Amino acid sequence: GDALIISNWATFYKNVVITALIILLLIFTNRLRAIFYPSIEWILIILFIVIGIGLSVYSLRHLPLIDFRPYKIGVNIPEAMKVPEGKPADQYDTKLIYQKDGVNKEFTLENYPKNDSTWVFVEQKSTLIKKGYQPPIYNFNIIDEHLDDITEQLLHHRGNVNLLITYDVNKSSLKGLKRAEQVYQRAKANNEPFYALTASTDEDIAKLRAESEVTFPFCKADPITLKTIIRANPGLMVINNGTIKIKRNWRDF
């Protein structure tokens, strides 16, 4: 899915072709001739099984050899978040709710009572009616413990910024978090910013601090974004002036 992104219809046609080929193989199986001797065929089968299992285990314990996701090494996050000129933007149907004499009424952006002080604004409702261009990276926002958005500050920091990714601290490796504490201490000694990004609650973070004695600061981020960034919990991503320089599984800290 990440290596080759195709539409639903393209997936359907692909499955039709593959199914047709399988049916042909079943029909004409008695007419097929082997290319290799049976012993060679078994060796090749075992070899491919070993390679497949080996790559899977390596990817789970470390990181995939090839990163097909938007947050691969070398990507500049601010650039990947931009919408190119000429690309269509999202289209919304926006309704403005105003109140007068205790009665609510909906208006559009064209006819709302802008200069009529007798109407009191209540709320705004926006409904997406047409999806526009979506950049490779979106919804990348980092909120610190004081509820301040520090995204731009970190993305434009000239120097290494260490971001520990743990979308759910309850599912994170405790051993990995303890190793991350050592990385944090080294980063602090080098005056490098270090933040743990999570979608966990404040209660879960407090519980983790009590159990593991980690001292690094936590920030909040979208859980889907965090899962997209790295296939590890925890994992480390180091950026410099917005460009991804390093990604590591906690086993490789």
- Parse the chain into domains and list their residue ranges: 8-61, 77-81+137-252, 91-130
Instruction: State percent of the chain over pLDDT 70.
Output: 98
Name the residue with higher pLDDT: 24 or 219: 219
State residue 34's pLDDT score.
77
Q: Does the 77-81+137-252 domain belong in CATH 3.20.20.70?
A: no
**Mean pLDDT, range 170-180, rounded to an integer:** 95
State residue 1's pLDDT score.
60
pLDDT at 224 over 90: yes
**Mean pLDDT, range 76-93, rounded to an integer:** 92
Mean pLDDT value across the chain:
93
Tell me the three-class secondary structure of the chain, residue by residue: CCCCCCCHHHHHHHHHHHHHHHHHHHHCHHHCCCCCCHHHHHHHHHHHHHHHHHHHHHHHHCCCCCCCCCCCCCCEHHHHCCCCCCCCCCEEEEEEEEEECCEEEEECCCCCCCCCCCCEEEEEEEEEEECCCCCCCCCCCCECCCCCECHHHHHCCCCEEEEEECCCCCCCCHHHHHHHHHHHHHHHHCCCCEEEEECCCHHHHHHHHHHHCCCCCEEECCHHHHHHHCCCCCEEEEEECCEEEEEEEHHHC
pLDDT at 4 over 80: no
Burial track 174-188 (b if 16+ CB lie within 10 A, e otherwise): eebbebbbebbeebe
State residue 5's pLDDT score.
72
Q: Which of 86-100, 184-198, 235-249 has the lowest mean pLDDT?
A: 86-100
**Mean pLDDT, range 83-91, rounded to an integer:** 88
